[in-house]
Structure 1
Amino acid sequence: MIELEAWRSTGETFNYAERSIFTRKGGQEGAPALVLIHGFPTSSWDWNKVWPLLARDYALFTLDMLGFGDSDKPQNFSYLISEQADLIEAWLSSEGLQEYHILAHDYGDTVAQELLARDNERRAGSGGDRCRLRIGTVALLNGGLFPETHRPALIQRLLLSPIGALVARFTSRDRLGKNLQKIFGTGTHPSKEEIDGFWGLICRNNGHRIMHRLIGYMTQRRKNRTRWVGALQRTRVPLKLINGAVDPISGAHMVVRYRELIAAPDVSELPGIGHYPQVEAPDSVADVYLAFRRALKPTAAMRSELSL
């Protein structure tokens, strides 16, 4: 585990559209680039336990998206998933990357789906831009990949309701802790230090007051279902799903739907693990992810396709 202050102290700032974005890099220079995309309502610190395990094999990149963690949290902002994807592509392009791999969780899954949709369009020659970024592989942790199987927690439904702003204002550290305990596995509850860290990052720059704006991603998922589910169905890059099976939000029931809709699904279910596999079972997540990547054999045809 990397303590929060140590995590912050080795981060950097990326200036994007006059906004300050917290970013962090590590791992092996020159190795394949792996981008870690966090979920709602937390931040890139979610990856602190798996970071050392993945840093042995990859060049790691992560950031706090707009509205999260140590990044800016404008009060009057749309917080569209497409805008978060724009941010990530702008940062990765500024880092000189051409090909990257994705490991995403929760809200980050939806951002990954948008990035994948763009990747599909670029490969088909219909992207409409000059971005040269290409995705090599995508691995997804628990998240609302399909609106019809997403079972939001009560706090999420309240934040999305007409009283969302009031609910956000009166959300507290204790409420966060109780909600996390409900969605973690019974034997893998977050520690006091982790809850303190999560809450501190949420509150940074009055972030708790915009949670009702961030939660709009649930509506966006329904509106863009065809595009984002289609991205998973049409992609030619390898996909992997790593799922905490007892997650009440996007657990085993979501896996059933994934197997129905995704051709030749590559799925690993983690028994007893809830909504945050990377926090609850980092060793298992790293082992499964590394095995997924080792099993891929980059043929000449694949390399040629990725270089297009």
Structure 2
Amino acid sequence: MNGLAGIALDDWFSQGRSLIYRGHKVRYWCAGQGEPLLLIHGFPSGSWDWHYLWQSLAERYRVIAVDMLGFGFSDKPRYYAYSLLDQADLLQDVLQHLGVGDYHVLAHDYGDSVAQELLARELAAQQKLQSVCFLNGGLFPETHHPVRMQKLLMSPLGFFLGLLYRRKHLAQAFGKVFGPETKPDEQELDAFWRMLAFNQGPRVMHRLIHYIAERRVQRERWLAAMQRNAVPMRVIDGAVDPVSGAHMVKRYRELIADPDTVLLEGIGHYPQVEAPEQVLAHYLAFRQTCDAAVVDAEIKTPA
């Protein structure tokens, strides 16, 4: 049973701020003080996905969340060339706008890929990435099992699917990727749908879905960045997720040296919604190990 108080979608919206990125309005949220923590949402929803964790994280960190272009309450231009690399540019612009230097990342799904891009830029970036925690996402194209909706969006029928897409289709898709005992209730489904439907979001889903092909193009570059092991990483993964569950974690353990992974039994694709208390506990434990490693390195470094 989840004991963390969430935030109603209307309240969440009212707390947001806006900036202009490449001529388009982008919605973002900030709260708390301390080390900056960037929360990166997944497809096809938005930053409200983090609402159960928001207050608890804001008590410890300066939390920042952005509805990326095409998502949530940001603009969803119909003919925009959406890409994961461009979304990384957007997030870096927001961080610069907020005067952020060093920062940490907690990402999910589509956001995992954007985080991988930020990780690949880490050596050259003005803002220095200090740690990355991935929730269920397609870190490796060979382990990503897209749902039927995603396959149709990638097909020539994708545009027409967007025109016909309704709340019932979202409910069906989410019903398949959430855990058997942790499925979203009607109120949560309403909120997910409102984020998606805002600014006629279904009309750009067929453009956003190109991220799946983009992952294949960037695979080797992103994997090399992860294997450098210069930035602490942890995976917290809902084990029964058919898209990127235990099978993805198995591959992660094969490819990444000294892998730091946590499997949440019975939890599906949205662990921050299905099991936020577990995600919070495992994330805070990860940050404690990161802080301990920094202190240890400082002790070992000669003056």
Question: Fold conserved (TM > 0.5)?
Answer: yes
What whole-Å deviation, never above 9, does each CA across 1:158-201 have from its counterpart, x for those lacking one?
A: 00011111111111101100110100000000011111111111
Is the counterpart of residue 59 in structure 1 residue 62 in structure 2?
A: yes
Change (3 A) 1:302 1:187: farther
The equivalent residue for 1:9 is 14
The equivalent residue for 2:106 is 103
Tell me by how many angstroms 1:299 deviates.
Answer: 3.0
Q: How many Å separate the matches in 1 of 2:118 and 2:299? A: 20
The equivalent residue for 2:190 is 196
What whole-Å deviation, never above 9, does each CA across 1:18-57 have from its counterpart, x for those lacking one?
A: 1100000012x2x111000000000000000111221121
Tell me, what secondary structure is at the counterpart of 1:264? coil
- AA aligned to 2:295 is T
The equivalent residue for 2:72 is 69
Change (3 A) 1:272 1:243: same
Identity of aligned residues (%): 49
The equivalent residue for 1:137 is 131
Q: 2:223 aligns with which of 209, 218, 229?
A: 229
Q: 2:179 aligns with which of 173, 182, 185?
A: 185
What whole-Å deviation, never above 9, does each CA across 1:71-97 have from its counterpart, x for those lacking one?
A: 010100111111000000011011111
Alignment of 1:146-295 (within 5 A): 146-295=140-289
- AA aligned to 1:56 is E
Tell me by how many angstroms 1:235 deviates.
Answer: 3.6
Tell me, what secondary structure is at the counterpart of 2:236? strand
Q: How many Å separate the matches in 2 of 1:224 and 1:10? A: 35
Q: 1:299 aligns with which of 295, 298, 301?
A: 295
The equivalent residue for 1:44 is 47
Change (3 A) 1:209 1:290: same
Tell me, what secondary structure is at the counterpart of 2:173? helix
TM-score by length of 2: 0.94
Q: Which runs of 5+ in 2 are unaligned?
A: 1-5
- AA aligned to 1:299 is V
Dislocated runs of 4+, deviation >2 Å: 299-305
Tell me by how many angstroms 1:219 deviates.
Answer: 0.4
Tell me by how many angstroms 1:304 deviates.
Answer: 12
Q: How many Å separate the matches in 2 of 1:6 and 1:185? A: 27
Q: Which runs of 5+ in 1 are unaligned?
A: 123-130
Q: How many Å separate the matches in 1 of 2:255 and 2:220? A: 12
- AA aligned to 2:269 is H
Q: How many Å separate the matches in 2 of 1:117 and 1:18? A: 27
Tell me, what secondary structure is at the counterpart of 1:273? coil
Q: How many Å separate the matches in 2 of 1:50 and 1:8? A: 16
Q: 1:18 aligns with which of 20, 23, 37?
A: 23
RMSD, matched Cα: 1.5
The equivalent residue for 1:86 is 89
